[in-house]
Amino acid sequence: MNSRKAQQLLSGDEAIAYGAYDAGVRIATAYPGTPSTEILETFSQLPDVYAEWCPNEKVAFEVAIGSSLAGARTMVSMKHVGLNVAADPFFTASYVGVGGGLLVVSADDPGMHSSQNEQDNRHYAVAAKIPMLEPSDSQEAYEFARLAVEISETYDTPCLLRITTRVAHSKTVVVRRPPERKGRRPVSGFQKNPPKYVMVPIFARQRHEEVEKRLERLLDYSESTPVNVAERGSRKLGIIASGVAYAYAKEVCPEASFLKIGMSHPLPAAKIRTFARGLAKIVVVEELDPFLEMQIRALGIPVEGKSLFPACGELTPDLVLQGLRRATGSASRRTSSDDRDRRALPPRPPALCPGCPHSATFYTIKKLKLDVMGDIGCYTLSVAPPLETMDACVCMGASIGMAHGMERALRDRTDRRCVAVIGDSTFVHSGITALLNVAYNKGRSTTVIVDNRTTAMTGLQDHPGTGRTLQGDASPAVDFEALGRALGIDSVRTVDPYNLKELEAALQEEIEAPRSSLIIARRPCLLLRKGERPPPRAVDPETCVGCGLCLRIGCPALSGREGGKARIDPLLCNGCPICGQVCKVGAIHEFRNP
Amino acid sequence: MDCWNIFLVGVGGQGVLVASEMLALGFLRAGYDVKKSEVHGMAQRGGAVSSHLRCGPLVHSPLIAEGEADLLIAFESLEALRWLSFLKKDGILLVNRQEIKPTTVTSGRMQYPEDICGQLSSRHRTVHVVDGLALARAAGNPRSINSALLGAASRFLPVPERIWKRVIREAFPDKVVEVNLRAFALGKKASPLAG
């Protein structure tokens, strides 16, 4: 009964938070990561819950395991690459099982709207032998979150809920159902059971046997669950799809027969065979990898899939329509010539904010012509013109290890000068062990922590370096200087990136010195500022010589033409001291109203 | 009940997503099924922002296919030009004539296109140009552009005004509700500017 009043427009992330809550989850952990961040943020606002940002996804997962073993229903959420970080506990959690239900959310990013790859995390469910649900919109995200908690407890396994950006960040109509139980569930407490929870080989071998038997029981469930549902339509074309791909296919080809897969591991083999009977042609509409397609082919059912749809990038209704047209031999739509016109227009990429301390840091690094082993955060934007000052970025925390490896390989040469640049949140996430390695293995590399006192790119979340918890309570802040020294780094110093001379001198000295160095370039993110904006700067057109040096900072408030005067937009300018120091003729001063 | 595909585009910080949210809630309250999709994160960093909004008796895809939008609401001129191909041939383009230079232009590397409104009118049949900033200022706050554009768009949409007013009241803190209601009214009354 959908009364209009009960309808809410929710994102998939929000719906999952509510679904977990209505299923009795009261503890949740995560590390921020687009498109999953809002799951924990939404959950943390609900009554009587405990939510924490952990330093990284591995820790978040392990905290969730502990909570689950204590009998509490728990959720841990992350983006797709976050599951790489949590993979170690993820795989063995499958053997260990659960106490209270354990909901694991993986939010993948086909099209890489904000990620370094577009890996397809459905493979993880198969590899770890963990059941998986794939919702196709927010109502299903809500329902499947609740279902995942039930499956987890009924079958004694973590349960993976796999979404993508277009489910996580699309808002669709949701009607919530009353929770199974009013108020708080009692937490049963930890029951000692070493053969189940201590994974030494003699016990783990038993547990693996259990896991295989469990998979067979889950297969029976998958065959009968209503979340895998056949929709009768034309016998000429059958479409098998999961997640948002189902929604696109249903939109462009509603007349086809559909097998909508909601539980995509284990796949309901018998149901698929039944569906396939009597259909002239079967197409698997799938984004990224032929995950469903390969398993369906292995059942002996001839299907088309990746030959029709791209392996790269996200699917769109257009791409689905084109693929289906090719499959059925229909004429394809006129290809758009507008693509060429669109590419001729000036792009509008995201940029570092006017006055961002990272601009100062990277401008200075560029001056020194260093090779930058970079990392993930707002500062990754320094790869874009005009700064173009990042040379490698692979995964969270990789900068420090890469710089050390490079330094070791090139130690006998004097021509290459490499530096690791990492943000404060990224450093806490996975930079500490890498920095320890530099000290322990007697490296000579230089690491710069660009410390802006927050996890900025994902929306200004707190972390162990900020001195505040998710709830905003005061908490011990990691002292990076003391930590560097405790790890054994030879030279540890702190500079203000806004002081370009100080930063340049520190970098120059540390790059040349044959010792391990840590430079903490500390200046808070401008978006953290409360209160009045400082007065903007202005360029004195009489003094400006049109050299264009200030334009190389990449500040959105600064504009200029070749050979012409520079200009500062007072509405965008945040009144920082960067361009004033860069200008060699003193043409930049505080804005004065005419 | 017809289907409405509305594509909103603009620059981070202009209030595109708030406008999209208001439109979505308006259609929802008017009895439509609604799906809305956007990519987050550009609000602070000045990048391009776009939001797909689909309304109808039963909506499946959250994304609008290229060439299928009934209404393109562009908060900024360059973005109107960039996304024009999303409109149906007989779709309506509602464009705010504001020009915000991207960093690729301010750094001197590329040129901002000239006479965008002229280009738009020559490539598309139904173009309504509004001066969103002037309307917002007349209402009392330059940040009420999104309500002004909502008002302008409301002329084409099958949702009664009382629903839009209710949505505005709920979307904004009390002290700016009146400004936004005024902006909505001014946008609704505004006659299209010469292209």
Within 8 A of A172 by CB-CB distance, chain B residues are 34-36, 59, 62
A87-108 CB burial, b ≥16 within 10 A, e <16: bebbeebbbbbbbbbbbbbbbb
Alpha carbon A218 to chain centroid, angstroms: 29
Q: Is B178 on the interface with A (CB under 8 A)?
A: no
Task: Write out chain A residues lying below 8 Å of B30, CB-based.
Answer: none
* Sign of the CA dihedral running A286, A288, A292, A295: positive
Residue labelled with tokens 């049109």: A546
3-state secondary structure of A505: helix
Mean pLDDT of B40-63: 88
**Contact between chains at B39 and A169 (C-beta distance less than 8 A):** yes
Predicted pLDDT at A335:
57
Digitized pLDDT (tens) for each residue of chain A, 594 residues in all: 456 679 999 999 999 999 999 999 999 999 999 999 999 999 999 999 999 999 999 999 999 999 999 999 999 999 999 999 999 999 999 999 999 999 999 999 999 999 999 999 999 999 999 999 999 999 999 999 999 999 999 999 999 999 999 999 999 999 999 998 877 788 999 999 999 999 999 999 999 999 999 999 999 999 999 999 999 999 999 999 999 999 999 999 999 999 999 999 999 999 999 999 999 999 999 999 999 999 999 999 999 999 999 999 999 999 999 999 999 988 666 555 556 677 789 999 889 999 999 999 999 999 999 999 999 999 999 999 999 999 999 999 999 999 999 999 998 887 769 999 999 999 999 999 999 999 999 999 999 999 999 999 999 999 999 999 999 999 999 999 999 999 999 999 999 999 999 999 999 999 999 999 999 999 999 999 998 889 999 999 999 999 999 999 999 999 987 678 999 999 899 999 999 999 999 999 987 766
Contacts of residue A352 in chain B, CB cutoff 8 Å? 45
- Could you say which of A7, A172, A556 has the minimum Cβ distance to residue B103? A556
Q: What percent of chain A has pLDDT over 70?
A: 97
Residue B195 pLDDT > 50:
no
The pLDDT value given to residue A382? 95
Q: Report strand pairing: A537-539 vs A491-495.
A: unpaired
| Interchain proximity A350–B42, CB inside 8 Å | yes
Is A347 an 8 Å CB contact of chain B? yes
C-alpha distances in Å from residue A584, one per residue of A320, A343, A401, A404:
56, 36, 37, 35
- What is the number of CB-based contacts under 8 A between chain A and chain B? 152
- Residue B86 CA to residue B88 CA, distance in Å, equals 7
Q: Which two tokens stand for residue A293?
A: 């397609």
Q: Which one of B37, B66, B79 has the shortest CB-CB distance to A170?
A: B37
Interface of B with A in 86-115 (CB under 8 A): 101-113
Q: Cβ of B112 and A346 within 8 Å?
A: yes
> Could you tell me if B122 lies within 8 Å of chain A, comparing CB atoms?
no
Q: What pLDDT does residue B194 have?
A: 47
Compute the Cα dihedral for A452, A455, A457, A461 and give only its sign. Answer: negative
What residues of A are in contact with residue B113 (Cβ under 8 Å)? 345-346
Question: pLDDT per residue over B162-175, tens digit each?
Answer: 999 999 999 999 99
Whether the CB of B41 is below 8 Å from some CB of chain A: the reply is yes
Rounded distance, CA B142 to CA B152, Å? 16
Q: How far apart are CA A528 and CA A427, in angstroms?
A: 19
CB contact A514 to B (< 8 Å): no
| pLDDT computed for residue B42 by the predictor | 60
Q: Measure in Å the smallest separation between the Cα of A138 and chain B Cα atoms.
A: 9
Task: Please give the Cα distance from A275 to A286 (Å, whole number).
Answer: 17
User: What's the CA gap between A567 and A561, in Å, rounded?
Assistant: 9
To the nearest whole angstrom, how far is the Cα of B159 from the nearest Cα of chain A? 16
- B46 and A CB contact within 8 Å: yes
Task: Give B-chain residues touching A571 at CB under 8 angstroms.
Answer: none
CB contact under 8 A, A317 and B61: yes
Q: Which residues of B touch A250 (CB under 8 A)?
A: 60-61
